[in-house]
């Protein structure tokens, strides 16, 4: 009995910045040899699937936009389905705003016009923007976070992610977001199941984060594989309530997981 599908994280698992993580090519080659249907799922809200495919190609990986889901696409779909007529006040990067407006959603600059506040990674975030978010989050206004990642693995080292900005806004507003999308949220889980089209028991989830990648797989009933090439080390694993089925040094070692399943009758 073999695995039929795999959900792959990107940053910290396949690439760091624009550089391939050592061994990732070998790992992806082994997954392809075994015929697993793959889906790259990233909590990055700033890049659309075509841009992510280009980034992976520059790093030496052959990937198509149809194989990629990002927090940006999840957020856009969620807002279109649930808040399509709302005026959106966005604390986030221009690339996220472009995704929302291209989908026909209304983004406003005036805090007092907001029906829904969208909070995400914002590299220009400052005190004035935090103050604007506080004013926008009036009683009755919905707060939507794009993803929970506190830090993101970059070429120059770990950097603050969307979760850090979301926590800052939630702290001054005095309430948590109504929903935080991306892995391991229910919308992400439904999207992965629909797009991959493989029974969860026949799927792997491979990633470097316990609270997003591994938690998603655990909730879905998939076999979970943590790699040490990102933000999680053995001390984090020991202290966490989320326990991966396998812990590998890198994606290069994925054969040890596949061989166990291949030899099971």
With 70 as the cut, is the pLDDT of residue 264 above it? no
Strand 37-42 with 19-20, pairing: unpaired
Dihedral of alpha carbons 167, 168, 174, 179, sign: negative
Bridge partners of residue 180, in order along the sequence: 145
In this prediction, residue 263 carries a pLDDT of 62
* Averaged pLDDT, 65-94: 97
- Is residue 10 within 8 A of residue 54, CB to CB? The reply is no
pLDDT digits (tens, 9 = 90+) for 201-235: 999 999 999 999 999 999 999 999 999 999 898 99
Q: Which of 11, 147, 202, 208 is catalytic?
A: 11
Q: Does residue 9 have an active-site annotation? A: yes
- Is residue 115 within 8 A of residue 142, CB to CB? The reply is yes
In this prediction, residue 104 carries a pLDDT of 98
pLDDT digits (tens, 9 = 90+) for 144-184: 999 999 988 777 778 899 999 999 999 999 999 999 999 99
* Averaged pLDDT, 109-133: 97
With 70 as the cut, is the pLDDT of residue 1 above it? no
Average pLDDT over all residues of the chain: 94
Q: Does residue 81 have an active-site annotation? A: no
In this prediction, residue 154 carries a pLDDT of 76
In this prediction, residue 115 carries a pLDDT of 98
**CB proximity list for 179: less than 8 A, separation 6 or greater:** 78, 144, 145, 185, 187
In this prediction, residue 265 carries a pLDDT of 45
- Predicted structure pTM score: 0.91
* Averaged pLDDT, 37-65: 93
Please report, rounded to a whole number, the percentage of residues in the chain having pLDDT higher than 90: 89
- Is residue 145 within 8 A of residue 162, CB to CB? The reply is yes
- Calculate ∠ Cα 60-55-46, nearest 5°: 155
Sole residue written with tokens 């914002």: 122
* Averaged pLDDT, 242-248: 96
With 90 as the cut, is the pLDDT of residue 15 above it? yes
Between CA 192 and CA 198 the distance in angstroms is: 10
With 60 as the cut, is the pLDDT of residue 186 above it? yes
């Amino acid at each position: 009995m073999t695995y039929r599908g795999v959900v792959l994280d990107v940053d910290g698992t396949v690439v760091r910045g624009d550089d391939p993580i050592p061994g990732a090519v070998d790992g992806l080659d082994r997954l392809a040899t075994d015929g697993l249907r793959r889906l790259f799922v990233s909590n990055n809200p700033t890049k659309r699937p075509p841009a992510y495919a280009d980034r992976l190609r520059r790093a030496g990986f052959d990937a198509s936009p149809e194989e990629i889901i990002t927090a940006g696409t999840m957020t856009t779909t969620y807002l279109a389905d649930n808040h399509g007529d709302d005026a959106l006040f966005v604390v986030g990067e221009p690339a996220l705003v472009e995704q929302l407006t291209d989908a026909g959603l209304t983004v406003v600059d005036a805090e007092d016009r907001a029906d829904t506040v969208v909070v995400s990674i914002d590299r220009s975030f400052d005190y004035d923007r935090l103050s604007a978010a506080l004013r926008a989050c009036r009683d009755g206004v919905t707060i939507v976070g794009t993803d929970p990642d506190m830090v993101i693995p970059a070429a120059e080292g770990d950097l603050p992610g969307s979760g850090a900005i979301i926590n800052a806004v939630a702290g001054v507003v005095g309430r948590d977001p109504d929903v935080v999308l991306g892995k391991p949220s229910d919308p992400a889980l439904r999207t992965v199941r629909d797009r991959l089209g493989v029974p969860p028991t026949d799927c792997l989830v491979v990633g470097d984060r316990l609270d997003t990648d591994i938690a998603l797989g655990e909730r879905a009933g998939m076999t979970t594989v943590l790699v040490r090439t990102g933000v999680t080390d053995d001390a984090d694993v020991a202290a966490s309530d989320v326990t991966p089925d396998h812990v590998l040094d890198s994606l290069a070692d994925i054969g040890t997981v596949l061989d166990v399943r291949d030899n099971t009758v």
